[in-house]
Structure 1
Amino acid sequence: MTIDISQFYQVFFDEAEELLAEMERLLLGVDVAMPDPEDLNAIFRTAHSVKGGASTFGLTDMSEVTHVLESLLDRIRKGEMALTSNHVDAFLAAKDSLKMQLDGHRHGASVDQEAVANVRMVLHDLAEGLVPQAPVVAPSYLTAEAKSQHPTEGAHRYKIELPHVEQRDISALVDELGLMGRVKVTPLDGGRSAIIITTHESLEDIIAICSFVLNPEDLKIFEAPALTPEQRAIEAAERKRIEDEQGWGFFDMDEEAGAAASEDVSDDERGYGFFQPIEQIRALAGITNEAPQPAAQQRPDPIEASEVAAEQAAEKKAAKKDPHAESSSIRVSVEKVDQLINLIGELVITNAMLEQRSSTLDPMGHERLLNSISQLGRNTRELQEAVMSIRMMPMDFVFSRFPRMVRDLAGKLGKKVDFITNGAATELDKGLIERIVDPLTHLVRNSIDHGIEMPAARVAAGKSEAGRLFLSAGHQGGNIVIEVSDDGGGLNRERILAKASENGLAVSENMTDEEVWQLIFAPGFSTAEQVTDVSGRGVGMDVVKRNIASMGGTVDIRSARGFGTTISISLPLTLAILDGMSIRSGEEIYILPLSFVVESLQPAREDIRDIAGRGRVLKVRGEYLPLIPLYQMFDIEPRITEPSEGIVVILETEGRKAALFVDELVGQQQVVVKNLEANYRKVAGISGATILGDGGVALILDVAALVRSSRQLLDDAIVS
């Protein structure tokens, strides 16, 4: 009987992606000097499980990479080879290659076969104890087939004798030459070293590369004889012997050997381990869902240490009570969850209609009916909350992306950074959690590049050599607050004011610190002295604020010179359902998101001023705010044209306030947000729509767009 395993592909893809993320997390947290055997075993198991699943589904490209990776990991965990930073770098590069291959099989994305071949060669070199080349894209002068099958065929071999130089110069030269071929370092008499390179490049190109590090006149370069067929055969035989010892026979076992070994090989060794639930893999590895902390990060302040210990103790206690808690879950597609949420939204609307229709009935004559409708309303609210919680995802989904980025970026800039996270279990709506990734990436990169100082500068300032970068999330009321904080040099008020003045922004020395910090969100604003590929082009911070504002959030900055900077982001928990204020203008009813509403009032006639050519402003407790008549924005026939006879709602967004003039306030309610653009088209000043209890449609106002479009805001100095 033939079993169709194609139905399990999606299961393998999901588990493989989780396993690769787990592998990266473990690699970033491993102590290279004294690795924990359990960590090494856990890393090995993730590679083994991915290999087993890939082999079962015939994904040979992934199984080949994971087999080499698994074999090298096996030697390290058995103590046959010491773990080094080169190993960790190569393993992370292998993880990236596997993720790329996985996306290729899953989504049809392009796969850089040159990079994959290069990673495999690096892993082979490490297994043989050679100095590896950098795990980057392989040179373009070789075809993918030539690199993967015959990486040295037809190549030249050169021996470069170096003068007495520092080890860092040798490492730099090896890294550069490693881009051209296979490199090996050998010792010479007198403490000198020589580099043997096998490459398809010309001698002139090699000398040109060397000249960036050393004086070409100090080099002695010889063309080493090419390997004879016998030497190549010996080398091939030796490589095969090593590969056989490492288990490469898995891929080319004949039927007799397979039959003979079948009785002694477990299902897990055949590669069926991919069916093992990810929760069991994590349990065997002793891994929790919290993001790993490098060794330097596991020594926080005493208060922090006590909090961490309490959290870990609570987690262990909960695990003992219910050891199978993690496994009691199922995978459900996002489309099904969204469909369920839409249906709940329709149920909420239908319940609101019933309540409105029944409000005119006689309570005495229809008591049982009204009680049933009331009970239906309570059940609907509970069901709505339960279904909305399905859409919520932990912030660890975002936080887990940053340890690798922090490690790589800090190494590139020559800085030392301890990355600490808190509140990774805090939940946020899936739609928001995907959109917050890019803004947080900008903020984390800026903190490392601009905030945290170089190690020497930190020591001179009396700080620890390694800077601290904190990423935290927590609930405050109906919002979630995400903070990116560093203990670096803080913002430079004078430099920001000077740069803002140079860019033509209106500034003054009397501005508060909060107002000065907001200047960095101006388009094209940057105080970087040099433009790098990390930051300094003035692109990013204005995009950060605009993206967060589009999600109904706000950004706040706190900074102290010499002590660091904290950027705080406040977001609503979800965009699917929001608390709104119903307002009327003419015959139309609109919804204002309550998160933007400061207060509402009926203004006095003397507080309203006319500004020639700029409309009117309203004086509220000594502050002049631009007055926005809603009926003018949407060309509505108003009932009231005089603000003193109507209602003014004070709105605040992006650090600016405005007064919205409407006819009256209708009420306050929770509304189900419907996407207007998907069902009709994009309308300026409107962010969505909802259905009211009477069946009518109410538009939800885009407060940020209304405030920006107000003519009065073109000039801050309306009233001096």
Structure 2
Amino acid sequence: MDITQFHAAFFEESREGLQAMEAGLLRLESGETDSETINVVFRAAHSIKGGAATFGFRAVSDLTHLLETLLDEARAGRRTLDSAATDALLASVDVLGGLLAVAEHGGEIDAAGLERVRSGLECLLSGEAATTAPDTADAAGDEAPARWHIGFRPEPSLFMTGNDPLRILRELGTHGEVEATCLDDRLPRFNELDPFEAHLAWDLMLPGGVPRAAIDEAFAWVEDQCELSIEAVSQDRKSPVPDAVADAPSGAVAKTRAATETVPSRAANADADSSIRVAVAKVDALINLVGELVITQAMLRQRSESLDPVQNEALLTGLSQLDRNTRDLQEAVMSVRMLPVEFAFSRFPRMVRDLAARLDKKVRLKTQGEATELDKGVIEKIVDPLVHLMRNAIDHGLEMPAERRAAGKDETGTISMSAAHQGGHIIIEVGDDGKGLDRERILRKAAERELPVPENPTDAQVWDLVFHPGFSTADALTDLSGRGVGMDVVKSNIVALGGQVEIRSAKGVGTTVSIKLPLTLAILDGMSVAVGEEVFILPLNMVVESLQPEAGQVRTIAGDTRVLRVRDEYLPLVNLRKQYKLTDAADAATPIAVVVESNGRRLALEVDELLGQQQVVVKNLETNYRRIPGISGATILGDGRVALIVDAGGINTAPVPLAVAA
């Protein structure tokens, strides 16, 4: 069998495992030293090790073996994970991510980094810190056990999960001679025997020289699918305390491990068992099909408007029900692509920790609204802007501990991240309780760079200056310094997603950057406008206003360039009919100007008629045809016609041909 077909699933699960390990280690470092957190980190490492060993990724399995050993000592209570151990484990997670990337995509292994983390883990394992607590499984004190006694009773459903007791017994046999007694008290009559259920149990004895970790590893895959007892038999005892195990009736074997360990219950995995992994391409195909269904339903509704409601009562009732069902189906399918914003937030605890250590600052991260759902495509594109905001907040926003103490503040600064729904949008905010923006300093820098500043600007207008490319108030720039470093990237990325960004700040109190985004990129709120026989869609978030210009408001400059005066501002006036070289209409209506704003630029679009507002299903024009300047996509109207979605940021003053059949 070609096992490479399972590589994609392994790498995806391994990446999730690394995220779980990193999150768990950060929780441990913050003081959450509960056994379940350690178990989560251990199980993630163990799963990666098992998969890597299966597929032959030796470097990955060797490193995770060291990680697993260290974590097992902590899990058994023989080691306390102090800051040194946590640093070593987090560094190992980083290197492990690199090894997995090499295994997936090829390339050279970072041998120096790998050797560094291996040496760190081996030093920790060989140090005396590993014996800080007695092993409760060794009841005889410091004396090594003579033998290990194991009571193993699988649940009947064990085979259905792909596990096999014979494999476990063989693995134990590789460590030493196994004395096995088979318990068949649950074996049914032959005519009642179900070959897909596990009926047998075992009473096992192993030499005392076998490491306890090796026994735990053998049962790690089935520990929540069996009744298991592991007990050390001391030198002066030739039989374990539970002598009645071999003769006990079904269910009598206690579900116990060492006193310091916790066996996870099946309920803990309920969420994992109730979900399936589906390729994103399949979800996108499903969304496209539902979009086609919505378009077809809209066409049927439009055709039915001319029917006699008395003669076609049953048909119209059925179409109304179809309308409701289609809308519900669309919402349900769209929710499949929705993911908790926690997928974006989860990478920041580690980033905050590392940046704070690098800058000698004390930082506390608070998150809120992680369960708020957002389209997967939006989440992937919002990460980079959030990284810029986080770096600037820590480096430029928060003061040094001494400076905060002098100002009467807690020396540990707070960075907050929150997400919340607001109508059809999501609001993501990144704030700090630092020194805030310096209004006068920003204005001085803007004057030095000769940036346009309104007379008597409001605070909001001053804060917007930091979005100019390269703008910074820092005297000496580093790869982090300057509130403006990367802020132009933030705004351009947010605007490209159809969103908005604004800053609120108070000197000495802190700064908050608020981002407003659409929930999904697959559906667009738009204004439909008519230009001759064609219909165009203007994204609603870029429409500022619409007006019917008077003759004195339109002027021609430089020969053929027209501008529209809107109050005290002159805006380029673009006729969409000429822009896309559409046929002139003999009875063209009095034109209407729609003022739009995109990428910080305002212009007026000349159209014939405003048709109304509607939600449209966005189709990628570049994938289905080719890239057209000034067009970001297309949609299909209820009557089956194609309507193009205008990209105001891509419109040039010179007309461009448009050759798309409607």
Shift of 1:395: 0.3
SS of the residue 2:399 aligns to: coil
- Residues 271 and 401 (structure 1 numbering): CA distance in 2 closer, same or farther, change over 3 Å? farther
Shift of 1:80: 3.8
- Residues 73 and 582 (structure 1 numbering): CA distance in 2 closer, same or farther, change over 3 Å? same
- Residues 368 and 488 (structure 1 numbering): CA distance in 2 closer, same or farther, change over 3 Å? same
Please give the alpha-carbon distance, in whole angstroms, between the structure 1 residues aligned to 2:72 and 2:437: 48
Find the counterpart in structure 2 of residue 646 from structure 1.
591
Does 2:600 correspond to 1:682?
Answer: no
Asked if the contact 1:32–1:83 (Cα under 8 Å) also holds between the matched residues in 2, the reply is no
Find the counterpart in structure 1 of residue 326 from structure 2.
380
Asked if the contact 1:51–1:271 (Cα under 8 Å) also holds between the matched residues in 2, the reply is no
The amino acid that maps onto 2:614 is Q
Match of 1:661 among 606, 614, 619: 606
Please give the alpha-carbon distance, in whole angstroms, between the structure 2 residues aligned to 1:254 and 1:41: 22
Find the counterpart in structure 1 of residue 137 from structure 2.
none
**CA offsets, 1:55-80, max 9 Å, x none?**
34443322211121122223344444
Please give the alpha-carbon distance, in whole angstroms, between the structure 2 residues aligned to 1:75 and 1:324: 27
Asked if the contact 2:29–2:83 (Cα under 8 Å) also holds between the matched residues in 1, the reply is no
Asked if the contact 1:53–1:271 (Cα under 8 Å) also holds between the matched residues in 2, the reply is no
The amino acid that maps onto 2:538 is L
Please give the alpha-carbon distance, in whole angstroms, between the structure 1 residues aligned to 2:331 and 2:288: 13
Find the counterpart in structure 2 of residue 194 from structure 1.
none
Asked if the contact 1:651–1:658 (Cα under 8 Å) also holds between the matched residues in 2, the reply is yes
List runs of 5+ in structure 2 lacking aligned partners: 130-167, 181-203, 207-212, 227-264, 655-662
**TM-score, normalising length: structure 1:** 0.69
Find the counterpart in structure 2 of residue 546 from structure 1.
492
Does 2:60 correspond to 1:62?
Answer: yes
Does 2:24 correspond to 1:26?
Answer: yes
Asked if the contact 2:171–2:218 (Cα under 8 Å) also holds between the matched residues in 1, the reply is no
- Residues 460 and 405 (structure 1 numbering): CA distance in 2 closer, same or farther, change over 3 Å? same
Shift of 1:710: 5.9
- Residues 8 and 323 (structure 1 numbering): CA distance in 2 closer, same or farther, change over 3 Å? closer
Match of 2:178 among 237, 260, 267: 260
Match of 2:566 among 610, 613, 619: 619
The amino acid that maps onto 1:404 is R
- Residues 564 and 320 (structure 1 numbering): CA distance in 2 closer, same or farther, change over 3 Å? farther
The amino acid that maps onto 2:327 is R
**CA offsets, 1:423-465, max 9 Å, x none?**
1111111111100011110111011111011111111111110
Find the counterpart in structure 1 of residue 469 from structure 2.
523
Please give the alpha-carbon distance, in whole angstroms, between the structure 2 residues aligned to 1:683 and 1:334: 27
Find the counterpart in structure 2 of residue 672 from structure 1.
617
Does 2:543 correspond to 1:602?
Answer: no
- Residues 45 and 579 (structure 1 numbering): CA distance in 2 closer, same or farther, change over 3 Å? same
Please give the alpha-carbon distance, in whole angstroms, between the structure 1 residues aligned to 2:562 and 2:71: 72
Find the counterpart in structure 1 of residue 276 from structure 2.
330
- Residues 5 and 656 (structure 1 numbering): CA distance in 2 closer, same or farther, change over 3 Å? closer
Shift of 1:400: 0.2
- Residues 330 and 32 (structure 1 numbering): CA distance in 2 closer, same or farther, change over 3 Å? closer
The amino acid that maps onto 2:291 is G
Shift of 1:593: 1.4
Please give the alpha-carbon distance, in whole angstroms, between the structure 2 residues aligned to 1:599 and 1:321: 55
**CA offsets, 1:184-214, max 9 Å, x none?**
xxxxxxxxxxxxxxxxxxxxxxxxxxxxxxx
Shift of 1:610: 5.8
Alignment of 1:382-421 (within 5 A): 382-421=328-367
- Residues 487 and 257 (structure 1 numbering): CA distance in 2 closer, same or farther, change over 3 Å? closer
Match of 1:75 among 67, 70, 73: 73
- Residues 690 and 58 (structure 1 numbering): CA distance in 2 closer, same or farther, change over 3 Å? same
Please give the alpha-carbon distance, in whole angstroms, between the structure 1 residues aligned to 2:372 and 2:307: 44
Identity rate, percent: 55
Alignment of 1:253-652 (within 5 A): 257=175, 260=178, 269-270=216-217, 273=220, 324=270, 327-507=273-453, 510-536=456-482, 539-608=485-554, 615-620=562-567, 625-639=571-585, 645-652=590-597
Please give the alpha-carbon distance, in whole angstroms, between the structure 2 residues aligned to 1:436 and 1:648: 33
Asked if the contact 1:639–1:663 (Cα under 8 Å) also holds between the matched residues in 2, the reply is no
**How many residues in Structure 1 have an aligned counterpart in Structure 2?**
547
**CA offsets, 1:590-647, max 9 Å, x none?**
0111222244333444555666776222335x6665543323433334449999x232
Asked if the contact 1:418–1:466 (Cα under 8 Å) also holds between the matched residues in 2, the reply is yes
**CA offsets, 1:640-676, max 9 Å, x none?**
9999x23232334455544322100123322111111
The amino acid that maps onto 2:628 is V
Please give the alpha-carbon distance, in whole angstroms, between the structure 1 residues aligned to 2:121 and 2:53: 20
- Residues 28 and 363 (structure 1 numbering): CA distance in 2 closer, same or farther, change over 3 Å? same
Find the counterpart in structure 2 of residue 705 from structure 1.
650
Asked if the contact 1:52–1:269 (Cα under 8 Å) also holds between the matched residues in 2, the reply is no
Match of 2:89 among 88, 91, 104: 91
Find the counterpart in structure 2 of residue 302 from structure 1.
none
Asked if the contact 2:591–2:609 (Cα under 8 Å) also holds between the matched residues in 1, the reply is yes
Does 2:117 correspond to 1:119?
Answer: yes
Deviates more, 1:342-351 or 1:46-55: 46-55
Shift of 1:85: 1.5
- Residues 373 and 467 (structure 1 numbering): CA distance in 2 closer, same or farther, change over 3 Å? same
The amino acid that maps onto 1:582 is S
The amino acid that maps onto 2:276 is I
SS of the residue 1:30 aligns to: helix
- Residues 410 and 261 (structure 1 numbering): CA distance in 2 closer, same or farther, change over 3 Å? farther
Shift of 1:534: 2.4
Shift of 1:582: 1.2
Please give the alpha-carbon distance, in whole angstroms, between the structure 1 residues aligned to 2:44 and 2:267: 27
Please give the alpha-carbon distance, in whole angstroms, between the structure 1 residues aligned to 2:629 and 2:216: 60
SS of the residue 1:432 aligns to: helix
- Residues 684 and 276 (structure 1 numbering): CA distance in 2 closer, same or farther, change over 3 Å? farther
CA RMSD of aligned residues (A): 3.5
Find the counterpart in structure 2 of residue 182 from structure 1.
none
List runs of 5+ in structure 1 lacking aligned partners: 132-249, 281-318, 712-720
Shift of 1:509: 5.8
**CA offsets, 1:311-369, max 9 Å, x none?**
xxxxxxxx999994553211111111011011111111111222223333333333333
The amino acid that maps onto 2:49 is K
- Residues 638 and 490 (structure 1 numbering): CA distance in 2 closer, same or farther, change over 3 Å? farther
SS of the residue 2:87 aligns to: helix
Please give the alpha-carbon distance, in whole angstroms, between the structure 1 residues aligned to 2:266 and 2:100: 35
The amino acid that maps onto 1:468 is T
The amino acid that maps onto 2:461 is E
Asked if the contact 2:554–2:562 (Cα under 8 Å) also holds between the matched residues in 1, the reply is no
Asked if the contact 1:496–1:527 (Cα under 8 Å) also holds between the matched residues in 2, the reply is yes
SS of the residue 1:695 aligns to: coil
The amino acid that maps onto 2:535 is I
Asked if the contact 1:423–1:472 (Cα under 8 Å) also holds between the matched residues in 2, the reply is yes
Please give the alpha-carbon distance, in whole angstroms, between the structure 1 residues aligned to 2:582 and 2:340: 44
Asked if the contact 2:565–2:571 (Cα under 8 Å) also holds between the matched residues in 1, the reply is yes
- Residues 629 and 453 (structure 1 numbering): CA distance in 2 closer, same or farther, change over 3 Å? same
Asked if the contact 1:420–1:470 (Cα under 8 Å) also holds between the matched residues in 2, the reply is yes
Shift of 1:521: 1.0
Please give the alpha-carbon distance, in whole angstroms, between the structure 2 residues aligned to 1:331 and 1:456: 49
Deviates more, 1:428-437 or 1:346-355: 346-355
Asked if the contact 2:50–2:61 (Cα under 8 Å) also holds between the matched residues in 1, the reply is yes
Please give the alpha-carbon distance, in whole angstroms, between the structure 2 residues aligned to 1:682 and 1:261: 72
**CA offsets, 1:3-31, max 9 Å, x none?**
87666544443333222211111111224
Please give the alpha-carbon distance, in whole angstroms, between the structure 1 residues aligned to 2:536 and 2:274: 44
SS of the residue 1:462 aligns to: coil
Asked if the contact 2:553–2:565 (Cα under 8 Å) also holds between the matched residues in 1, the reply is yes
- Residues 320 and 107 (structure 1 numbering): CA distance in 2 closer, same or farther, change over 3 Å? closer
- Return the structure number with greater helix share: 1
Find the counterpart in structure 1 of residue 184 from structure 2.
none
Please give the alpha-carbon distance, in whole angstroms, between the structure 1 residues aligned to 2:490 and 2:436: 19
Asked if the contact 1:585–1:639 (Cα under 8 Å) also holds between the matched residues in 2, the reply is no
- Residues 264 and 57 (structure 1 numbering): CA distance in 2 closer, same or farther, change over 3 Å? farther
Shift of 1:122: 1.1
